[in-house]
Structure 1
Amino acid sequence: MASFLDFEKPIAELQGRIDELRTTAADGTVDIDAEIGRLQAKSDKLLRDTFARLTPWQKTQVARHPERPHFKDYVAGLFDEFVPLAGDRAFADDQAIIGGFAMFRGRRVMVIGHEKGNDTASRLRHNFGMGKPEGYRKAIRLVELAARFGLPIVTLVDTSGAFPGIQAEERGQAEAIARSTAACLEADVPVVSVIVGEGGSGGAVALAAGNRVLMFEHAVYSVISPEGCASILWRTSDKAPDAAEAMRVTAQDLKTFGVIDTIVPEPVGGAHRDPGVAISSLGDAIEGALGSLVALDPKALRRERREKFLAMGRL
C-alpha cells in the first residue's frame, strides 16, 4: 500500500478503518463485507475528489513521492535490450544521469534520464537525481552518438535540480548544462522529453529541450523549487505553497502556456498507486509523439525545435 501524504490524512484514516475491519473479519466469526464495501467506496470517492482539486503545492508533494516510478522502473517496463553507456570520457561516470541504447516497441532508440534511487543506499549512490557536470557531459555524448546513428532520443526528467556543490561549479556545471541543452536543440533526430516527476531548474531543461515535451498529470516543472523561490522572495521556505501557486508549476498551467505539449494521465491517486498503469500510459504517449516526428528530415526537426522554444518568450 502506498504511503500517505499529509493532505491525504482523511483517506489514510478510512483505509486504516478498513484494514481493522478486515483483520476482525479474518477469523470468520463476523460478516462485515457490506461495511467494508461501504467504507471502501467512500475512500475511493474521497481519493478521486481530493486528486481532482490538488493545489500546485500538493502536486509538488505527489511529484516527489518516494514510491513514484523512477528511471529504472520506466526502462524495465517500456524498453527492451537496454545497454547502459557510462562516463563522459573526461572525468567520471555520474550515476544521477543514466542512458544507453534500447528497443522501444520495435524501434531502436537512445534513452537518457535522471535516476533518484528508491532507498537510502541507492539515493546516495544516484545523488538524489542531481546531476553533476560529468552527468550532463555524458548526456551530450549520448545525444551526439544517437544523432550519428540516426536514433530517436527519449529523455525522462526527474530532478530537483543540478547538484549545487562547489566541486560541481569548479568542474563547469553551468557550461555543461548549457551545452547539454544546446545538444538537444541541435540534434538531427527526433527528441521526445518527458517530465515524469520533478522538473527542476536548468538541471531539467538540459534534458528537456525536445521536439515534443510530455508531462505527467501530477508532475511539476519550474525554474526553481517552491522552497527556493519562497526563501528568495519571502525569506522563509514556509511560503513554499504560495510560491508554487505563483510560479504555475503544474502540467495544466504549462500546457496552457505552451511550455509542454501533452499531459499524460496518471492513475487516480498518482503514479505511485499503480505504477504499471502509469508506465503503460506513458509508453503510449511516447509512441504517439515519436510517430509524429520520425518522418521529418533533420532540417525540419531542428527548425521545429527552434521555433517551439523561441515562441515561449514571445508575447
Structure 2
Amino acid sequence: MRESARAWIDAVASAFTELPGTEPAESGEDGPIGWPGYDEARTRAAERTGEPESVVCGVGKVGRTEAVLVSFEFSFLGGSLGGRTGLRIERAFARARELGAPVVSLIATGGSRMQEGMRALTQLQRLARAAALTGKAGVPQVAVLRDPTTGGGWATLGAGADVTLALAGAQVGFAGSRVRPEGEPAAYTAEGQLESGHVDQVVELARLREALERWLRLLTTPAPEAVPPPPALGSVDVPRTGWDAVRRARDPRRPRAMSYLDSYFDWREDISGDRCGGVDAGVVCGFGWRDGAAVAYATQCGTPTRPAGFRTAARLVRLADRLGIPVLTLVDTPGAANDADAERAGVGPAIAELFAAVAGATVPVTTLVIGEGGSGGALAFAAPERTWVTPDSYFSVTSPEAAASILKRADEEVPETADRLRLRPQDLVGLGIARGIVGPAR
C-alpha cells in the first residue's frame, strides 16, 4: 500500500512520539548545488504530505517492545535521501543508542536526491556510520522493505540491517526502475532478493505487525545463560559397532533437525541467506523462544553443506554474539559439499568463516550431533568443549567410505574402517570430543 509515513507507523506501533529537532538553515537558494526549482519542489512536497522532509522518526511501542521508528514518506520527492533526511535518521539512531531500543526502519525510497548532488550521496556514509555505531552498542536493527526500496536506502538501512523483512511484491534492488537494464525483472523484487539470499523473510502486509512484534521480542530478550542440549528424539541405546553407528545415523526414519527445533522451542523465526547471493536449503538458522527468552540456532538438515550454508550460520553466530544471545547448533551432514560449484563459491573460505565465528563468540554455544558428523563440514558447526551427541549419531574425521579410499582399502573393508575410526557416540565421549550422550526427555 502507498500510505503515508505516519500511516505505516500506525500500522505497526502504538504510543508514537516524534523526535524533536529542527533542521539547520541552508545557505543559498535551491539547496547545496543551486538546483533550479528545488526550493519550490520541496515546498510543494511539504504542502502535499504535511511533512517537512522525506522521513518521520520517533519512539513507539511495537507490541511489548519500545523501539525507535524511521518511516519514509515516499510522496515527499520519492522518499529520496537528502542532507536533512540523513540528519534526521542519524539523530534517530543516536536516540536508539541512548535508550538501548531497537531500530525499525520502514523504508520506501528511490535513493539519493538528485537535486543535492554529491551532498545527497554522502548521506549514505552518514547512515552507514550511524548503523555501525548502533550495531557496536548491541542495539538490534530491523528493516522493512516497502514498495519501492531502491538505491542507497536499500544499500544501507535495508541490506545492512540485522534482520531484513520485505513486503510481498515490493520492488527491491540497488538499481531503480529507470536506470536498470531490461530483462529479469524478478531479480528486482522482494521474492527475488529472498531467493538470492539478501532478504530474511517476505511478509504479507496482514502479518507485518505480528512479525515485527515477534522479531523484536527475540532480538531483545536473550536467554541469561548457556542452554542445555535438546533431549534425544530417536534411539536410546548406543550402537554396538562403528558401522552400526553409521547405518543408524543414515537411517531415513531417524528424527531430523526440524523435529528437534519444533520440540525445543515454543516458537521461532528463521533468517535466510548469506548476504552474498546464496541460500542453502540444507541449513536452517534463526532465533527461537524457549522458557521466556531467546536462543539463536544454526542447524544442518542432513545434506552436504554448501558455502552459503556456512556463511549463513556464521552470520547468525556473529549476530547472536553481538546481541548477547546464546546459540544452539545441531550437527547433521555427511560433509561439506565438494563439487566444482562449491569450490568456485568458496567452500573452504566459508568453512573458515564459520570456524572463526564460533571460536570468537563470547556467548555460550551448545552443540548437539543428531545424525551424521562428517569431517570439517560438521566440525565447523560444533562448539569446542560444549558438544553432546545422540545415541543415533556419529562423528568422524571423514566418512568411512572416504577414509577407506584415502587409505587404499577395498570396499568390503569399509565397515571395519568405521570400527577403527572410533566414531560411535560412546567413543566420542571416551575421547573427550563429546561431553555426554543425551537421553530422551523426562
The TM-score bracket by the shorter chain reads 0.5 to 0.7
2:209 is matched with none
**Structure that is richer in strand per residue:** 2
Shift of 1:105: 3.0
1:22 is matched with none
- For 2:339 and 2:258, the matched residues in 1 are separated by 25
Amino acid at match of 2:343: E
Describe the SS at the equivalent of 1:254: helix
**Are 1:133 and 2:307 counterparts?**
yes
**Are 1:142 and 2:316 counterparts?**
yes
Describe the SS at the equivalent of 1:151: coil
Shift of 1:53: 6.2
Shift of 1:78: 1.2
1:104 is matched with 290
1:256 is matched with 430
Distance verdict in 2 for CA 1:52–1:259, change over 3 Å: closer
Shift of 1:85: 0.2
Shift of 1:141: 0.4
Choose from 373, 378, 395 the match for 1:204: 378
Unaligned runs of 5+ in 1: 1-47, 117-128, 266-277, 282-315
Amino acid at match of 2:300: H
Describe the SS at the equivalent of 1:84: strand
Shift of 1:207: 0.4
Choose from 397, 402, 409 the match for 1:228: 402
**Are 1:174 and 2:348 counterparts?**
yes
Shift of 1:192: 0.2
Moved more, 207-216 or 90-99: 207-216
Amino acid at match of 1:88: D
Number of residue-to-residue matches in the alignment: 207
1:94 is matched with 280
2:12 is matched with none
Unaligned runs of 5+ in 2: 1-234
Contact 1:181/1:209 (8 A) holds in 2? no
2:357 is matched with 183
Alpha-carbon displacement from aligned partner over 1:2-42 (angstroms, at most 9, x marks no partner)? xxxxxxxxxxxxxxxxxxxxxxxxxxxxxxxxxxxxxxxxx
Describe the SS at the equivalent of 2:260: helix
Contact 1:88/1:137 (8 A) holds in 2? yes
Task: Give the structure-1-normalised TM-score.
Answer: 0.63
Task: Give the structure-2-normalised TM-score.
Answer: 0.45
Shift of 1:236: 2.8
Describe the SS at the equivalent of 1:179: helix
Describe the SS at the equivalent of 1:203: helix
Contact 1:87/1:138 (8 A) holds in 2? yes
- For 2:238 and 2:266, the matched residues in 1 are separated by 34
- For 2:273 and 2:430, the matched residues in 1 are separated by 38
Alpha-carbon displacement from aligned partner over 1:134-165 (angstroms, at most 9, x marks no partner)? 11000110001101111000000000001111
Contact 1:228/1:237 (8 A) holds in 2? no
Shift of 1:52: 6.2
**Aligned 1:1-40 pairs, distance under 5 A:** none
Shift of 1:76: 1.2
Distance verdict in 2 for CA 1:166–1:53, change over 3 Å: closer
Choose from 333, 341, 348 the match for 1:159: 333
- For 1:130 and 1:227, the matched residues in 2 are separated by 15
Amino acid at match of 2:309: G
1:82 is matched with 268
Shift of 1:80: 2.0
- For 1:253 and 1:175, the matched residues in 2 are separated by 30
Describe the SS at the equivalent of 1:208: coil
Moved more, 195-204 or 52-61: 52-61
- For 2:346 and 2:278, the matched residues in 1 are separated by 14
Contact 1:97/1:135 (8 A) holds in 2? yes
Cα RMSD, aligned residues only = 1.7
Shift of 1:210: 4.1
Amino acid at match of 1:132: R
Describe the SS at the equivalent of 1:92: coil
Shift of 1:130: 1.1
- For 1:240 and 1:191, the matched residues in 2 are separated by 34
2:252 is matched with 66
Shift of 1:219: 1.1
1:270 is matched with none
Contact 2:239/2:391 (8 A) holds in 1? no
- For 2:384 and 2:324, the matched residues in 1 are separated by 16
Between 1 and 2, higher relative CO (CA 8 Å, sep ≥ 6) is seen in 1
Alpha-carbon displacement from aligned partner over 1:154-206 (angstroms, at most 9, x marks no partner)? 00000000111101111111111112011111101010011111110111011
Shift of 1:251: 1.4
**Are 1:246 and 2:432 counterparts?**
no
